Structure 1
Amino acid sequence: MNRQANPTQPDDDKVRPDREQDPAEKDGGDHDTTDTAAGQNPIPEAWESVEQLFALAPHLRVGRANVMGDTQFDGDAVAGDKVVQHVYGSLPTRLRVVGPIPDSELAYLADTFAPSRRYDELCAQLTAGRVLVLRGRPGTGRRTAALRMLIQAGPKGGEVIALDPGTEPADFADHIRPGRAHVVVDPVTGKDNSVRDVHLNAARRRLGDDGLFIVVTGPGTAVDDVEAHDWEPPPPADVVRAHLTHAIRRSATSPRETQEISAVQRLLGLEATVQYLSAGPSPREAAGFARLLVEHARGRCSKEDLLGYGRESAEQIVGALFGGSSGAAGGDALRDKAFLISLAVFDGSPYPLIADLGDRLYRPLRAVEKPERPAGHPVFGTSPAERLAWARAREYCDETETPWGRVPERVVAFQNGSLWSTVLRHVWTSHPAVRRPVLDWLGSLTRDRRAVVRLRAAVASGLLAATDFEYAFNEFLHRWGCSSVAMERQLAAWALYTAAEHGMDTAVRRLLSSWSGRRDTARLWTVARTYALLGGATAVSALRDIGRMVVTGPEADGALRTTLEQTLEALLQGPAAATVLERLVQWYADRGPLRDLATAAFLRGTHRYQHEACAVGSWPRLLWLADHEPHARHHVVQMVRGLLGHHTTRTDATEALTRWIRAAERASLRTARACEAAPPSGEAVPAAVSDVESALARLLPALVATQNDQDRLDHLLRRLSNSPDGARSLTVVRLRAALSHERAALPGSF
């Protein structure tokens, strides 16, 4: 299981936690101790639960950038032996980050889009009316078409902004930026908050003369008195042709190699291509097949792989494995199928763990199939090699997370990257007799003392919820989410995240919105923890619901108050951090519980650190935001200035700045060592000033609005003029010089 480096505390620490630990926390100060009292392990903090999810459940790492805002894993992220997996079929719809859509995504979309007559008609409608409601089923290319229209009809090189689907239709206009292009996909609606013409007219007025807005709806979207235009997907052959043309152009190294038409026609004429396209795949599936064709043209996959894409889809493979009356050669068929289910839950884990937990499932399955016979099994059964070959899996070297760090281990995983979810969906929908044994088995795993076992059971439960949400809600989601045991509520949060990530995001959003209006603190806790996991994809909804909990909900007890603070702290680590900071500034301007929450959440955020690939040392997360995002900088300055200026928070704010100064000091020391180790040839060694120190030197003058502010910061720097080892701090000297030479801007001039 590959794990990216996460935000960390200053580099010198060997343990490298991502948050500096307060003395009270060393004794469990901020952990919910409900489970500890019950003799179980304490639950992780909100951000730790995010890290655990992506470290221990590699199935979900595709969605990591939504939460952490860092590099998204791709097929070449490997450790140990490289395992090439062909995914036969389309991946489920993933949660998408709200806000400006990356230019790279828009450029790729523009190059690979397959236009059609229906597209041209709809684009003309958008140009004329500036607001369009586009209706279609997921997987038909409706979102891609909407984005392509906004690119074509909008200002050249203009920004395209994705609104949070949790935004209520009545509030669409509040999130519109005049002159920009906007899209919202599958907004969460209901009988009392459907999309109405009055909402679209308000958005149209807000757009101005050049702005555009598309509402992409699906079968479950409530629309009243609004003209919705049906989307008709292009022929699959056109989709494949567009993707092939783009790939061939990119791979060409000379004009002689750009014979695009002949190369595309040759690939489209292959027997495997003709056979696949005759089945009428969706645009999403056709795009996936085009990528496989490119691999075939480069010699990286065989003709059998191409034929297998259409003939041996994941569903067909799984159907054959469970439909037969035999398992691996010489093995007990039912026991091997129990192993297969266990492999789906623990894909990428060591074989002994998967086999042992599979045998635990085998016993209740045997009791259902043959209740009159004892549920024992052979001690020496099928060989691992034969069982893995039958299950379409392979064993390879990797590193796994343990309480003692990452250790090398032999792990097993499906050869087809989509089989783990397909196995669970197939078992759940095609074999109702196994539902109860599987639920009981997963329930027992959630009580296991091993974190990886508990978390993987929750993830598997969430996948089942994505398959049949109502059944899962009645069987375990409601019970976990309302439990008095904190770990069960955390299980609900992990499961709800997984369900949302696998296509049930609308139902999950509705549930969270409903629960956030209740007065049950257990459900409110679960809502907050789930929003921490969902991250940037639901930031606007999270801030709205958290604010509602604080203002209209019951008086928060210690556990709920801490969880709300931790959730906001976690959201500050993700791609929607600037949006969160803006809301914290608004809350801080109020009196009462919202101000207290904003203060606590921001101060928690000052403890967080992050690494940049080419940086020497670690960045305080909020300092990094202030230096790299102008919008965030304004809000960081407002919050720090406000906290320093109030007598109740001045000490905490001063301690936060002290940590940042020491972090800049450490980074500059490391920069100095690097310069001394490799001085430029024939040149003097440059001043050892790190990027962290430079950013802090730019921020400190901005915190000064009055002479008192200037004196307060200068006093802090004089007090820190000596580093912890007693030597004079050159970093502090330079920061004092920057503070005295620069004059702060007035509030609102950033």
Structure 2
Amino acid sequence: QADPGPAPPSAGAEAGAAGAPGDRAAAKNAAAKDGDGPRAAQDSGRAAPRRETGDGGDFTRYQQARQQNGLNKILRSAVATGSGSAFYAEQLSIGGDNGIEIQVLSVSSLTVAQQLDSHQDVDQQPQMAARLAAQHVLVLAGQPGSGRQSTALTLLAGCCSDDSIKILHSEAQGILQALCQRADELLTPGGFMVDLGDQPLKLSTVETLGHLARKQRAFLVVIGELGPVDPDRLRPHAVEHRRPPLGDVLAVHLSRLLAGHPGACAHQDCSAEHTAAFTARMLESQQVQRTLDGAPSVRSVVEFAEVLAQSIHSEDTSLSDVIGQWRDRLRRLAKQLLQVSTQTSHGPVLDPHRQAFRIAYAFFHGHPLSDVFEAGDVLSATVLPRYETREPAPTNHVFERELDQLIPQEMRASVDTTSVGGVDDNPRRARLVDEELMHAVIEVVWHDYDSLRDPLREWLTALVARPLERIRVRAAQIAGILLSHDFDSVYRDLIRNWAGDSAAYRQSAALALEMAAHDPRLVQRVRGQIRSWLGSPRWQFQDSAARAYGTLVGAQDVPDTLWALRELGTRQELAFSSSVAFSMSWLYLAGSPGPTADALDRWITSENDHLAKHAIRTLLILSRYGAGPDRRDRPVLADAAMADPDRADALVRLWRRALMGQDSSTRAWDQLRRWLLAADADKELAAFLETLAPRICARPLTLRTGFYLGMWAGRHPDSGTVRQLRQQLANGGPAPDAAT
């Protein structure tokens, strides 16, 4: 039986492919040495005894790690970005603090003054200033790289003093909802900026924030992305933010950089007239204009101005070289950072410890430094020694050196940067000077250091075996970026091996393909590869396909994805796997609740018992999630059923099968208890459950329901909903056919 090889560019047919047993064995040994090695993959399609059902907690930990790894939001030079749905999910919260940690970062008055000196007004900026002054809250919805932070700081400086502006930041989702709950603590007289990233935003939240900000004499500017944040639905509190004319941005920054140049220049003929003429010539140049037309962001134009200012005394004929130098700046910086030399008896050689740590720092941008140290140690102390001759052994280990020596200043983000992060991070995190530098390092490591390819594959494989979910997710994403550079090689020697291994590796293989699909050139090839897994005789590849459909790849064609998941769900090979339920849950939460709920209703009434079990597992996962950031204590499934009687009927069928199932009843009863407790703080939900719960618990579940309600009444004596349902059951309960 042949394993699925790399799908050809124009087809997804299954093909045979040779493995790389030597490299794979070495990677397994690396993972085993750390005590967390994966199980050996099955060599045939025979289903070995196993139990991998998992639960909602596994799904939640994985999705939280995905949300914390924001690579999909970064504009990449090495990999073209593609459009995708923004995933947002809140766990069900019952009457308690959401536990979100919010950091308050002060912006220095010097930083504000520099922003005001170089800021270029954008379209509708006077209207923005007027709305912020009147409403105390303003939402700027625009594309990343359009200068939203600069506009936000400028607007806040017009409403409050320069030394009273702060940034509110949280690595978790739902920062604005947490801010509403803790406004008395966090909002003080002054200005505040919050960057939502790709999180959605509702009008009710903005209105609440405006009221709280006015009460605290504070001014709040919220930055969001077009799509998740729709300015038309948030009027009059939101404005679409468009980037300023890039020619004006270049002019003001070039003039600022060259303002004091004549006095410090060694050239005798350098004068203010010379710098003014140079600036005018650059702004009139067609080459410069074409470069501005392709600039990805306002920040990149500022960097372009710095490069031009350094070439003020170069001949015009070298302008093309200067522009090329700017375009290739990150790649050259990446090569420079990896060329760390030390003198030995054999001459200058690369310091493997420092080089490994810099690679880890770049790859784990945005992660806590503890992750960087852990990943760097695996690469330096475990993986690289098997590929190098180190005699004598290095006497100076990487972690005995200071961070400032390991990571040069040109690689790290400045402490004074206005972007979120820096020394106030808790825990302290890896922050690159430019997010795109990570992708440049990946490209250089793969293309310029051929001897690093095998260690890199082995390193990523060892990282996928680590216990921290966020480390496994980032390793899978790096593998996905590598697929965009060399799909055939990376799939053959890395991803295919992962797809045929343990659950953690199969999940990483699916996530790697999702990352690769952000490259428009690879979308069809990725879909073909997943379909090839679906048709494989080996259950591990089938399971990997099921997991891959629970990503943005699956969200791009929901009908086809639901067909594929149903096909996989009918198979005996996946009867004990939670992958189908995980993907169905992800589709529901990622923006396709209607089609997914319809499919679940068909599955729960299907004659195929495997489909019914997958539907029950999906219910148990989704029942843990709230309806959104504004209604964290209302179950998302109940919220949909409250407005649709057909959804309510389907929900009754799902609950009854789950409560009666031998493998699911314990968790199902506990989740039903959580729903009833959540209704104590939600009158609408309580009224809904008072009619729904009796239908769910009708015969033959009546006696068991009485037992559980009695037990819950003892554990939660203050729960009005439990007390009401218990009394209703004692008075005769629902009619025998109430659960039809």
* 8 Å CA contact 1:53, 1:494 repeated in 2: no
Moved more, 497-506 or 409-418: 497-506
* 8 Å CA contact 1:664, 1:696 repeated in 2: no
Separation in structure 2 between the aligned mates of residue 418 and residue 68 of structure 1, nearest angstrom: 25
1:44-193 to 2 correspondence within 5 Å? 47-48=59-60, 50-51=62-63, 53-54=65-66, 57-60=69-72, 66-69=86-89, 79=103
Structure 1 unmatched ranges of 5 or more = 1-31, 72-76, 86-103, 113-245, 254-259, 398-406, 669-688
Shift of 1:475: 0.8
Residue 279 to residue 618, structure 1, CA distance change in 2 (3 Å): same
Separation in structure 1 between the aligned mates of residue 546 and residue 360 of structure 2, nearest angstrom: 30
Residue 729 to residue 559, structure 1, CA distance change in 2 (3 Å): closer
Separation in structure 2 between the aligned mates of residue 252 and residue 486 of structure 1, nearest angstrom: 48
Whichever residue aligns with residue 640 of structure 1, its letter is: V
Separation in structure 2 between the aligned mates of residue 82 and residue 514 of structure 1, nearest angstrom: 52
**Correspondence for 2:377 among 332, 356, 362:** 356
Residue 319 to residue 375, structure 1, CA distance change in 2 (3 Å): farther
For residues 492-530 of structure 1, the C-alpha deviation after alignment (integer angstroms, 9 at most, x for no partner) is: 233223323455443222211221122210101111222
**Correspondence for 1:280 among 259, 281, 290:** 290
What secondary structure sits across from 1:618 in the alignment?
Answer: strand
1:555 is aligned to 572
Residue 279 to residue 492, structure 1, CA distance change in 2 (3 Å): farther
Residue 738 to residue 375, structure 1, CA distance change in 2 (3 Å): farther
For residues 526-556 of structure 1, the C-alpha deviation after alignment (integer angstroms, 9 at most, x for no partner) is: 11222234464454443221112244xx522
Whichever residue aligns with residue 709 of structure 2, its letter is: L
Separation in structure 1 between the aligned mates of residue 564 and residue 253 of structure 2, nearest angstrom: 54
Separation in structure 2 between the aligned mates of residue 701 and residue 577 of structure 1, nearest angstrom: 23
1:460-475 to 2 correspondence within 5 Å? 460-475=478-493
What secondary structure sits across from 1:619 in the alignment?
Answer: strand
What secondary structure sits across from 1:591 in the alignment?
Answer: coil
Q: Does 1:385 align with 2:404?
A: yes
What secondary structure sits across from 2:329 in the alignment?
Answer: helix
**Correspondence for 1:374 among 381, 391, 398:** 391
Separation in structure 2 between the aligned mates of residue 600 and residue 658 of structure 1, nearest angstrom: 13
Q: Does 1:635 align with 2:647?
A: yes
Separation in structure 1 between the aligned mates of residue 291 and residue 709 of structure 2, nearest angstrom: 66
Which structure carries more relative contact order (alpha carbon 8 Å, separation 6+)? 2
Shift of 1:667: 3.8
Q: Does 1:546 align with 2:546?
A: no
What secondary structure sits across from 1:393 in the alignment?
Answer: coil
Separation in structure 2 between the aligned mates of residue 106 and residue 383 of structure 1, nearest angstrom: 40
Whichever residue aligns with residue 377 of structure 1, its letter is: P
For residues 378-437 of structure 1, the C-alpha deviation after alignment (integer angstroms, 9 at most, x for no partner) is: 50677531432255115989xxxxxxxxx9543332121121122102221343343233
Separation in structure 2 between the aligned mates of residue 716 and residue 408 of structure 1, nearest angstrom: 46
* Aligned-pair identity (%): 17
TM, length-normalised to structure 1: 0.52
Residue 471 to residue 634, structure 1, CA distance change in 2 (3 Å): same
What secondary structure sits across from 2:573 in the alignment?
Answer: coil
1:720 is aligned to 709
Whichever residue aligns with residue 685 of structure 2, its letter is: A
2:721 is aligned to 731
Separation in structure 2 between the aligned mates of residue 380 and residue 648 of structure 1, nearest angstrom: 57
**Correspondence for 2:590 among 546, 570, 574:** 574
For residues 193-249 of structure 1, the C-alpha deviation after alignment (integer angstroms, 9 at most, x for no partner) is: xxxxxxxxxxxxxxxxxxxxxxxxxxxxxxxxxxxxxxxxxxxxxxxxxxxxx99xx
* 8 Å CA contact 2:331, 2:437 repeated in 1: yes
Residue 306 to residue 667, structure 1, CA distance change in 2 (3 Å): farther
Whichever residue aligns with residue 317 of structure 1, its letter is: L
TM, length-normalised to structure 2: 0.53
Q: Does 1:698 align with 2:717?
A: no
Residue 353 to residue 83, structure 1, CA distance change in 2 (3 Å): farther
**Correspondence for 1:317 among 330, 334, 337:** 330
Residue 648 to residue 80, structure 1, CA distance change in 2 (3 Å): closer
What secondary structure sits across from 1:532 in the alignment?
Answer: coil
* 8 Å CA contact 2:66, 2:470 repeated in 1: no
Residue 358 to residue 588, structure 1, CA distance change in 2 (3 Å): closer
Residue 67 to residue 277, structure 1, CA distance change in 2 (3 Å): farther
* 8 Å CA contact 2:517, 2:526 repeated in 1: yes
What secondary structure sits across from 2:549 in the alignment?
Answer: helix
* 8 Å CA contact 2:510, 2:547 repeated in 1: yes
1:604 is aligned to 620
Residue 415 to residue 282, structure 1, CA distance change in 2 (3 Å): same
1:493 is aligned to 510
* 8 Å CA contact 2:341, 2:351 repeated in 1: no
* 8 Å CA contact 2:304, 2:326 repeated in 1: no
Whichever residue aligns with residue 361 of structure 2, its letter is: L
Task: Please tell me the root mean square deviation across aligned C-alpha atoms, in Å.
Answer: 5.9
2:674 is aligned to 663
Whichever residue aligns with residue 568 of structure 1, its letter is: M
Residue 619 to residue 699, structure 1, CA distance change in 2 (3 Å): same
* 8 Å CA contact 2:622, 2:637 repeated in 1: yes
For residues 73-96 of structure 1, the C-alpha deviation after alignment (integer angstroms, 9 at most, x for no partner) is: xxxx974768999xxxxxxxxxxx
Structure 2 unmatched ranges of 5 or more = 1-36, 43-47, 75-82, 92-100, 112-137, 147-229, 255-281, 311-321, 417-424
**Correspondence for 1:477 among 478, 495, 503:** 495
* 8 Å CA contact 1:465, 1:499 repeated in 2: yes
